[in-house]
Amino acid sequence: MDEMKIYVTRIIVPDAIERLQNEFEVEVWEAPTPPPKELMIEKARECDGMMIESNDVMDSEVFAAAEKLKVVGTRAIGYDNIDINAATAKGIAIGNTPGILHESCADFTMGLILSLARQVSRSNRKVIAGEWKIFDQTPYLGTDVYGKTLGLIGLGLIGTAVAKRATGFDMDILYFSRTRKPEIENEFGVKWTPELEDLLARSDYVSVHVPLGPDTQGFIGESELATMKPEAFLINTSRGGTVDPDALRKALHEGQIAGAALDVTSPEPISKDDPLIFMENVLITPHIASASAATLRRMGLMAADNVIARLRGEKMPACLNPEAI
């Protein structure tokens, strides 16, 4: 029997690749950018398993070419880059990596809130530019975080972890979610707001923590931004597509909100000419909220374990479409 073959689309977690190599023939795409579509189609046709990143597109065209592909492991929670229905129709299991990155993302989210509030990034740029000539704090007067109102859109693992941290700042924490979560309310003192508009109107900081899908594409748009306080800030560490970029540019330009921190953009990477980059009240990072060394390694190992388990005929640690098996 021929040795099963795995295609890995990036050298990010060497330990995960080594784990796969212990059992299978492994081919690795060594460039830092995603493999071209034609190559993804070719490897879907040739391989038994694939381990991919969140910006590798696995659409119906790729899955249509699959002949013996049984599993795709993505080193991510989100799967908006994967056509789950097309995979399921071909009997291809999709594994993701839940329950790992929420603490790192929550740390980063609080960091963005603090950086926005106290103008950390802006003031640092001024120092680098040689504009710190005298002791004068007035150009950099920020806003407090302690005692302010935080609105969480989504209260999954990441949103809950942010709420936990926000309690240390004695924040009044609101959340909007399709389902009410009394246990989390009791543990962290968060308050459910059944209407999104209510949360937006009351919050000093609005943090987005929803997955990207048909129901959340452009979820924060012109009307939502107009509902926010003019002194409020928007933070997005979920997916860029959840916020309408045109509406955000307009809201910031017109002073409808005080600023924004974006770890994700639409598209990614953001254009070097995008007006958002040049706004002093906007902080943009390159999709790194989960990027601690320990978290990255654990996600890579779980993605590999999903591939290994499926090809062994064992239960996968996390499978998005068990009906495909």
Task: Count other Cβ atoms within 10 Å, centred on residue 310.
Answer: 24
Q: Which of 187, 197, 268, 280 is catalytic?
A: 268
Q: Which of 75, 239, 298, 310 is catalytic?
A: 239
Name the residue with tokens 């962290």: 188
209 catalytic residue (yes or no): no
287 catalytic residue (yes or no): yes
Helix, strand, coil shares, percent, the chain, to 5: 40, 15, 45
**Residue 106, H or E segment:** helix 102-117
**Residue 150, H or E segment:** strand 149-153
Pairing of strands 25-28, 233-236: unpaired
Q: Which of 165, 202, 287, 298 is catalytic?
A: 287
Order of all β-strands in the sheet with 191-192: 191-192, 172-176, 149-153, 205-208, 233-236, 259-262, 282-284
* Separation in Å, CA 125 to CA 146, 220, 224: 25, 29, 30
Q: How far apart are CA 14 and CA 197, in angstroms?
A: 45
Q: How far apart are CA 109 and CA 161, in angstroms?
A: 10
253 catalytic residue (yes or no): no
Active-site annotation, residues: 239, 268, 287
